[in-house]
Amino acid sequence: MHRKTLLKKVLLWISVCCCFAGVPALIVFHSINKYYSMSEEVLKETCKRELQKALNICTKAAAAEKFWCKKLSEKLQEFSRQRSSLEETEKWLKKTREEFNSVFEYIAWNPAGKMTHISFNSDYSESEWHEVFLELIRASSEAENYKWTRPSKANIETVRRVIGPQYVSEMIEANTNAKKYGFAWTDSSLRKPLVWASVTRKGCFLVLFPHEKFKSDITLKTVIKNLSDAKAPLFGLYRPNTRNSPIWLPRNDHSFAALFNNLKICEKNMQGFVEEKKYYLATSFLTPQLRLFAVTARKFTTSQKRLKAMLGSFILILFLLPFFSYTFNTIVGEKPGTLSIRPRLAFLFFFANAIPFLAMTIVAQEHYLQKRNTLLKDIHKRSVELLKDYDKRLESSYSAFEYETQTFFDRWVASIDTKGQLTDKNNAKVIKAARQNFVDNYFLISSSSAYVGTFAGVRKVEENLSVNEEKDEARGTRPQPTMSKNDKNNAQVFNLIGKRVMRELNGTTRSNQAATKLELLAESLLQKSFAEITHGFIKAMGGITMWGFGKVQNLTLMKFMSLSGSEMIDFMAVIIWNSKTVQDHYVENTILNINRNPVGLKVVARKELTRQYFPPDFVPNQQIITQIDQATERPSEEIETIEFNDSQYLAICFKGKFLERYKIMGLYPLDRLSRIIGRQKDDLILLGMLSILLGLLLAQILTRSFLVPLEQLQNAALAIETRDYAFRVKRTSKDEFGEIATIFNDVMVGLEELEVAKVVQESLFPENHLNKNKVKIFGRSITMAELGGDYFDFFEIDNNSCGVLMGDVAGHGVGAALIMAMAKSGILSCQNCLKTPKLLLEKLHYLIHSSKTRKQKKIMTFQYLYIDTDCGLGRYSNAGACSPILIENQGQTARELYLAGPALGAFKKANFKECEMQFKSGDALVFYTDGIIEARDSSGQEMGYANFMKLTQNCYDSDPEIMYQKIYRAYLKHIDGQEADDDLTLIVLVFS
């Protein structure tokens, strides 16, 4: 093969391999790499999310004092509500103490005052600790349940000597007060531990926190250790400004190399996330001195992802090795392909559809993952906005109270007679309206009267704080509801300030001495100048605002009212709502409506004081309880999920800014998100199925238009092979296949005719056997075409003789068959020449030569033997045929019976010779054509005359048929499976 041609073929083969193997391998590489990259993206998001969860928990643990007060208070309250025994509480304290590495010590007493457990060796006696017990009971709100202790009063000096010199009983209140959570710091010199105490109906508990352990971050580290289980991520602490041991991890893990350097980089560059070769690092601010970090080992490094992708591509290439070999043999080696069209088309269909579809599936999976994350973030954002809006709308609910209150007082002042006096009847209307409007307290002040309207009725209040007595002469003898001391003081203050403000606005001032005294009195109460007080009153007019004395602030509405026709201010109403009551009313009346939101968010509110849930039928599981317990004032920015009722939910939770007594949680069912994504996935699957269906339809169309005609042509070829020349191809279209079918059918007509000619030709051949007296003959002709060119015959001439002839027409086909038929007819017409071989050949020569035309110029080699079957005398003549082999002495010797002569029809004039021979018993004569002489072995070597002569001698047998079979088997062994190039005809004659 020419070098350039070979190079072109090799380049073509490489191009085919790149197209059908390289491109799919790249697609597989990219798809696998994308798949593992998606897994890493999920891991990164998980690391960030878990850090945010841990940050919410650790922020509380970092404020250890509040953390422990809250933890101990809530747990002991839970034990109290569940009516747990003293032993259960002690067991929990013991377990918690061990869990937090003995950060505290504790003492427990039963209600009888007997010490049931002490966790440390004390320097004080049990009697001294009993004094502490008595003091804790006295300072507790549960003192009434310990009535037996009242006759005994603790020795305060002993108490201070035991738990701290700065101890005062008010300190104990802050231990369990949710608004004031804090320890009792009883010793400024820090020699005594911090104190926390609680008294329940089941017993009294004193918890002591030694300063050296309390300041050692044991609490925070224990919380982090509990968060860092065997699974990722691993949490730790980093102190950026510490040289010695700046990193703390709950367990040793040497897989996170260069962690310190990465933390320094994060601190320097204010980064929150770092991707290392082997792990991810997320950091967050915890305290000015501490940073919380989470580190997660990567599932797959970049090199591992590439290696897996390369492995997938390599497996695909291994799968395609037969394809490489097949295409190399067909393109470069120019060998015919052994695969049928159907698997080829299936292969092409696979590459054209399956691999791109696989790649599209993986890319679509990445798209859906990103889509899911985007939807999650969007839903998280919308949910946070909805919850914050719900929290903020508490303020807008004030307008309903304000409107109803303003409307009522407008009607109320219009209904008062011209005298403008407060009466029980007028006040009763206010009481009724106030009750309906959830008012906590109110004060109705008259500018011209000493009487003030309250829930307790109309009472006379002097403008002098030293007088607290009520003058009820004008009210009659009917008993009035009593007023609390606090309400009396508030009534006096509001009366003093309200009257002064109304007088200022009406321009009716009092004496300078009285005014000055009143101003000083008000300023001492409110710790503001009277001008600020007046300004505050006026500013608070007309709307609900947070207003009050000092730190005590409540929702307050102040309204000035004038009687009909009066230009003076006659009344001032101060209406006060307790924020707790308003919040409860708001939540109870709006929680169901907020659950009908467009986001599909389930909104839950928990009242922190009573831990009551709204809606009332909501039953939380432990995950929700924990999530709410850990909630802070701000909702988490990271996506957090929990399991509830066997379903996954997106959870958002925070403490209300306006609903400060509640924690608000939003639960979004992730299966709803999955349905949204699922619909898109269904669309993709449907599109993919339609694509596959379309491909199958196209394949079916291709099969019908391509494979079906090919299959018919294949059946036609098989029909030719099986010589079923009656088979016809149905023409299904007018395309190239239809034309081929037409041509094939025409050819089949010719082949059918040829088959008839073959039958005719085969009828010219004799039967395989002839036994006459002492002569046995066996002969057979094997043709390489439908119509061969070899002709042989042996027949009886009379009772004592027979003739044997063999001819070989140059070429094959119908022309050769015609010459054979002509020779047969010539022999039949020359019955008188059968005993004279030379004369027979001359007659046949004349016949064949005279039939030659321009188109038909075939000649025929011929040889004829006449033999007397009794005596073995024979006469032989040869017309250019292969000389027969005479085997004598029963196979001992072999020689060629040579007699020269021209082929029949070769020349116009021909001179033929004739010779006589005498057969002896056991002699054999083998006639043959040149097909066996020219037969080649696998190396291309011809058999030749010498080899054939030796072969016939070796194959000698007294039975001509057996001898023939031996020769034929030797012939087949010689060609060794090679296809024969010419007809094979043998005649074996044995004289016995």
Say whether pLDDT at 561 is over 80: yes
Q: What's the pLDDT score for residue 765?
A: 75
Cα distance between residue 727 and residue 722, in whole Å: 10
Decide: helix, strand or coil at residue 799: coil
Residue-wise pLDDT tens digits, 438-491 = 888 888 888 878 888 888 888 887 665 444 444 443 444 444 556 666 677 777
- At residue 967's C-alpha, the angle toward residues 963 and 971, to 5°, is 170
Average of per-residue pLDDT across 771-777: 93
Give the helix/strand (H/E) hosting 376. helix 355-415
For residue 215, give both structure tokens. 């300041």
Average of per-residue pLDDT across 131-150: 73
Q: What's the pLDDT score for residue 779?
A: 93
Say whether pLDDT at 967 is over 90: yes
Average of per-residue pLDDT across 528-548: 68
pLDDT band at 388 (very low <50, low <70, confident <90, very high): very high
For residue 253, give both structure tokens. 């893990």
Cα distance between residue 706 and residue 708, in whole Å: 6
Average of per-residue pLDDT across 75-101: 91
Q: Quick check: pTM over 0.85?
A: no
End-to-end CA distance of the chain: 59
Q: What's the pLDDT score for residue 674?
A: 78
Find out whether 865 and 924 touch, Cβ atoms under 8 Å: no
Average of per-residue pLDDT across 366-371: 73
Beta bridge partners of residue 925, listed in sequence order:
886, 989
SS3 letters across 712-730: HHHHHHHHHHCCCCCCCCC
Residue-wise pLDDT tens digits, 794-828 = 999 999 999 999 988 876 666 677 777 778 878 88
Cα distance between residue 290 and residue 58, in whole Å: 11
**Burial level of 83, CB count in 10 A (0-12/13-18/19+)?**
exposed
Q: What's the pLDDT score for residue 107?
A: 96
* pLDDT > 90 in the chain, percent: 25
Residue-wise pLDDT tens digits, 86-96 = 999 999 999 99
Q: What's the pLDDT score for residue 149?
A: 46
Residue-wise pLDDT tens digits, 585-622 = 889 989 999 999 988 899 999 998 788 999 999 999 98
Q: How far is CA 439 from the centre of its chain?
A: 57
Cα distance between residue 155 and residue 662, in whole Å: 41
Average of per-residue pLDDT across 412-436: 82
Q: What's the pLDDT score for residue 668?
A: 92
Q: What's the pLDDT score for residue 158?
A: 92
Find out whether 283 and 223 touch, Cβ atoms under 8 Å: no
